[in-house]
Amino acid sequence: MIKIKDKYYKRLEQDLYNYKYLKLSIDNIKQDIEEYERADGVGAIDCDRIQISSTNAFSSIVENATISNMEKLDFLEHCMNKADSVIKKIDKAMELLEVTEYSIVTSYYIDNLQWFEVGYKVHMSERGCRYVRSEALRKMAISIYGETAVCLPT
């Protein structure tokens, strides 16, 4: 049997535990992006507070606000794309699982059920469920991370 490196196994488990939250964060980031695009970030200018420098340097409040908004939008889009990438990889890897493996992985990690509840749901012992889960995660880790996740025999 092929063994998976611990860091990839734990990383996959963490991504599965956070699966629902990643999906929610994508929706929230989309909403934030829409709000930033609707708001231009520029309000009325109070000329009394503007300091005049002796260096003749040009500084535009509107320009600075626009650049700040663009940077925020870029950051939000980067975060959304990263979370979306993780979700897509997990979804593709889960498509390859057998029905029982899929049910055990989703029940334990995504639905947050206890092992006895998972066993009851799939009509297996807790020990059997843990073994199937390990095999499913092995398959998923290889499909997501490739052969870098595999421990080479010594």
SS3 151: coil
- Calculate mean pLDDT across residues 13-34: 92
Lowest-confidence region among 37-41, 142-146, 147-151: 37-41
- Calculate mean pLDDT across residues 35-61: 59
What's the mean pLDDT when you consider all of the chain? 85
Q: Is residue 41 part of a domain?
A: no
What confidence score (pLDDT) does residue 49 get? 55
Q: Is residue 112 part of a domain?
A: yes
Q: What values do phi and psi take at 4, rounded to 5? A: -100, 140
Tokens 């708001």, residue located: 39
**Which range marks the domain in which residue 82 is found?**
6-36+71-149
| Total count of domains within the chain | 1
What confidence score (pLDDT) does residue 95 get? 95
Tokens 């009325």, residue located: 44
Q: Is residue 42 part of a domain?
A: no
Q: Which amino acid is at 1?
A: M
Q: Is residue 63 part of a domain?
A: no
Is the CB of residue 130 less than 8 Å from the CB of residue 92?
no
Other residues' Cβ atoms within 10 Å of the Cβ of residue 66? 14
The one-character DSSP state at 152 is P
Other residues' Cβ atoms within 10 Å of the Cβ of residue 94? 19
Q: Is residue 45 part of a domain?
A: no
pLDDT of residue 145 exceeding 60, the answer is yes
With a pLDDT cut of 70, the percent of the chain lying above it is 81
Q: Is residue 20 part of a domain?
A: yes
HEC states along 57-69?
A: CCCCHHHHHHHHH
What confidence score (pLDDT) does residue 66 get? 64
Q: What values do phi and psi take at 150, rounded to 5? A: -85, 135
What confidence score (pLDDT) does residue 137 get? 94
pLDDT of residue 64 exceeding 70, the answer is no
Q: Is residue 55 part of a domain?
A: no
Q: What six digits make up the tokens of 18?
A: 């956070």
SS3 150: strand
What confidence score (pLDDT) does residue 7 get? 92
Q: Is residue 51 part of a domain?
A: no
